[in-house]
Amino acid sequence: MDQKKNILTYEGLKKLEAELEHLKVVRRKEVSQKIKVAREQGDLSENAEYDAAKDEQRDIESRIEELDKI
């Protein structure tokens, strides 16, 4: 697999670092809380809020992984 090189300015690097920190510290906690609230509502098989929160969690973790690679 070809590795893509990322050329960043100092400002661009700081922006990505800030986004990564925000995702890890703030967004993870927010989504975790959403999942917790949705779980408390009962049956997870038909819980749209739970599904949406899990999708959001997947997207956040995917972005964190992408930023870590950069």
Could you tell me the pTM of the whole model? 0.82
> Cα separation of 55 and 17, whole Å?
23
- Sequence ranges of the domains in the chain: 17-69
Is pLDDT larger for residue 65 or for residue 46?
65
Q: What confidence tier does 2 reach under pLDDT thresholds 50, 70, 90?
A: low
pLDDT confidence of residue 45:
78
Q: Which residues contact 57 (CB under 8 A, 6 or more apart)?
A: 28, 31, 32, 35
Overall fold of domain 17-69? Helix Hairpins (1.10.287)
Q: What confidence tier does 42 reach under pLDDT thresholds 50, 70, 90?
A: confident
pLDDT confidence of residue 54:
94
